[in-house]
């Protein structure tokens, strides 16, 4: 049985209709959608053959057809029109991410919420830690007698900052002592080597200045711990509940995200700039009724993480895919510029 051009057009029309309405479609309704000069009986035969090929199914004897997971896969891989992002969506993404960039510490989290709001789907954000990165520079910017901004830059271009509040006045001599200790023991050290024991060793090496320098040392380690964190955050939980007809499916996704490592391995395995992960192909029961559209985002030349949306197989791929592709590129550029600004 051949998947000819007519069958492809029929399958595409049925999938687009089902995405829009959530209702099975019969041959008569399909006649009104398609511009074919064929009878409804001919369309019924074609639809029956598509069912035999595994691309469509009939939920009830008297009902029309709906796509199967195999049908969706074929559609997104080779039949879907990869439309360019609309000017309106482009402008919305630019404006919202630009506004979020004013809060660099929470930029990634804000981006996840923005994506969820734009798509109406729950979003996932996963940070991929670079195990070979090391501390390249630590800068101190005094903001008051006992308050200082610490900026830490890694070898792969990531920069993070944190405000540290001290118990005692941060004199020029005390800052100079901290600088010397950091230059000798922190700069050049791989991020994976920073542990609680290493922190205690540094505090001990500060000698008589240990009490005064402990808040600064702790802040540096908190920054590194944040960079090292490998986890998944979910934004738009309300969309998760609303986009699934079955509440148990939404709860299963929440439970899966709570387990972190299972889903993280899947997201980290996405190597294309943007890809669609079909839940039924993951071997994870909770994901079978769901798909994920996932994009990589980068910090300069470095792979920083994955951002995407998760939802039922019936999602508007033609809008989500180009929107997410542009979103991830803009996010990477804004994060790179933000980190350069912090570094400068």
- Report pLDDT digits (tens) over 284-306: 988 988 999 999 988 767 777 89
The answer on 66 and 96 residing in a single domain is: no
Indicate if 271 and 313 belong to the same structural domain: yes
Residue 76, pLDDT above cutoff 80: yes
Angle at 213 between CA 211 and CA 214, to 5 degrees: 70
Question: Is pLDDT of 156 > 80?
Answer: no
Q: Provide the domain limits for residue 321.
A: 87-128+230-343
124 and 234 belong to one structural domain: yes
Q: What is the mean pLDDT of residues 150-171?
A: 86
- Residue ending a domain, among 201, 228, 255, is 228
DSSP secondary-structure letter at 225? H
Q: Is the pLDDT of residue 344 over 70?
A: no
Q: What was the pLDDT predicted at 342?
A: 61
**In a shared domain, residues 65 and 112:** no
Identify whether residues 241 and 324 lie together within a single domain.
yes
Domain CATH for 157: 3.30.390
d(CA 30, CA 13): 8
- The answer on 112 and 242 residing in a single domain is yes
Beta bridge partners of 234: 124
Number of domain units in the chain: 3
Separation CA 262–CA 54 (nearest Å): 29
**Most distant CA atoms of the chain, gap in Å:** 91
Same domain, residue pair 153 and 106: no
The rounded percent of the chain whose pLDDT value lies above 70 is 96
Helix (H, G, I), strand (E, B) or coil at 165: strand
Please state the pTM of the whole predicted model.
Answer: 0.79
Task: Give the pLDDT mean for 84-92.
Answer: 91
Same domain membership, residue 320 and residue 208: no
Clarify whether residues 61 and 206 are in a common domain: no
- Does 333 lie in the same domain as 260? yes
In a shared domain, residues 202 and 278? no
Indicate if 99 and 224 belong to the same structural domain. no
Measured between alpha carbons, how far is 323 from 121 in angstroms, rounded to an integer? Answer: 13
pLDDT(81) > 90: no
In contact, 108 and 226? CB cutoff 8 Å: no
Per-residue pLDDT, 260: 78
């Amino acid at each position: 049985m051949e998947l000819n051009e007519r069958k492809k057009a029929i399958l595409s029309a049925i999938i687009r209709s089902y995405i829009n309405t959530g209702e099975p479609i019969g041959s008569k309704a399909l006649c009104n959608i398609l511009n074919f000069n064929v009878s409804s009986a001919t369309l019924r035969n074609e639809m029956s053959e598509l069912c035999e090929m595994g691309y469509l199914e009939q939920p009830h004897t008297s009902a029309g057809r709906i796509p199967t997971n195999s049908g969706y896969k074929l559609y997104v891989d080779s039949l879907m029109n990869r439309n360019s992002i609309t000017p309106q969506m482009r402008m919305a993404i630019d404006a919202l991410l630009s506004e979020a960039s004013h809060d660099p510490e929470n930029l990634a989290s804000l981006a996840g919420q923005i994506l969820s709001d734009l798509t109406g789907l729950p979003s996932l954000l996963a940070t991929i830690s670079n195990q070979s990165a090391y501390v390249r520079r630590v800068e101190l910017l005094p903001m008051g007698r006992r308050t200082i901004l610490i900026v830490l830059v890694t070898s792969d271009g990531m920069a993070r900052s944190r405000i540290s509040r001290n118990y005692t006045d941060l004199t020029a001599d005390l800052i100079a002592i901290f600088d010397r200790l950091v230059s000798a023991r922190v700069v050049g050290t791989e991020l994976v080597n920073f542990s609680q024991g290493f922190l205690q060793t540094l505090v001990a090496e500060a000698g008589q200045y240990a009490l005064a320098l402990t808040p600064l040392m702790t802040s540096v380690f908190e920054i590194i711990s944040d960079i090292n964190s490998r986890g998944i955050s979910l934004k738009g939980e309300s969309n998760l509940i609303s986009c699934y007809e079955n509440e148990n499916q939404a709860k299963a996704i929440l439970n899966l995200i709570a387990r972190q490592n299972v889903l993280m391995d899947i997201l980290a395995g996405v190597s294309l700039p943007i890809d669609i992960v079909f839940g039924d192909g993951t071997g994870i029961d909770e994901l079978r009724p769901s798909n994920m559209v996932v994009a990589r985002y980068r910090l300069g030349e470095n792979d920083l993480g994955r951002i995407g949306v998760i939802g039922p197989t019936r999602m508007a791929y033609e809008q989500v895919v180009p929107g997410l592709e542009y979103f991830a590129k803009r996010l990477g550029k804004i994060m790179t510029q933000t980190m350069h600004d912090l570094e400068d």
